[in-house]
Structure formats: structure tokens, C-alpha cells
Amino acid sequence: MHADPMTTRARQMLLSRRSALRAARADTRPGAGGGGDGCPPARGACLPPHELEEVEAALERIAQGRFGGCEQCGGAIGRQRLLAVPEARCCLTCADTRARDASG
């Protein structure tokens, strides 16, 4: 099956991000040159614990042909959103609603 160019680009971005996250996590192991507390000194901030899992889930959605569909409403996630946040699970409208619900 041939993926469209946007999906191919998003997949490349996700693969690159996954490699970077794996390398950063390897650097945070005790004795691996990092701080041992999950925060490598060179980066100055901890990695979000779920980021690698979200990237992996997006790669799985691509493999299954489900990439680009909002998990909340079933509509399409905008192309610009997917290029900015390829691991996005929801369209911008649903993500905004979810964020408002969580904050209030």
C-alpha cells in the first residue's frame, strides 16, 4: 500500500523523533553520562514520560492505515496539525475541548 506524501513525511518525522527520544532516554540512565534522575544535564529538562509512547502509537496508526482520523469525533485531523504534531490523536476542536474540560 502506498502512503500519501503527507503521511510519508509525518512518518519520517515520527521515526526521527523516536530515535531522538530513545537516545535521550539512554542518556538518562544512571552511569550513562546523564544526571541519573531522568534529566540529562545538557538538556536541562526532563522528557515527558509519555512522549515516546505517543510517537509509537502514531507510527502504529500509520501502519494500520488509521493515521489522520480524530479518535474523539471520527473526523479528519487537519494536515497542518499533523505536520506540526504528527502524534496528535484528535483534531484541534476536540483537543481544545479536552483541554478545557481538563482545566475546569
Q: What is the pLDDT of residue 15?
A: 98
The pLDDT value given to residue 21: 94
pLDDT at residue number 54:
96
| Fold designation for 5-103 | Four Helix Bundle (Hemerythrin (Met), subunit A) (1.20.120)
Judged by DSSP in three states, 34 sits in coil
Residue range 68-86: average pLDDT? 96
Question: In whole angstroms, what is the distance from residue 101 CA to residue 104 CA?
Answer: 5
Q: Which of 93, 18, 57, 71 is nearest to 101 (CA)?
A: 93
pTM of the model: 0.76
pLDDT the model gives residue 11: 97
Of the two residues 43 and 30, the one the predictor is more confident about is 30
Domain boundaries of the chain, sorted by first residue: 5-103
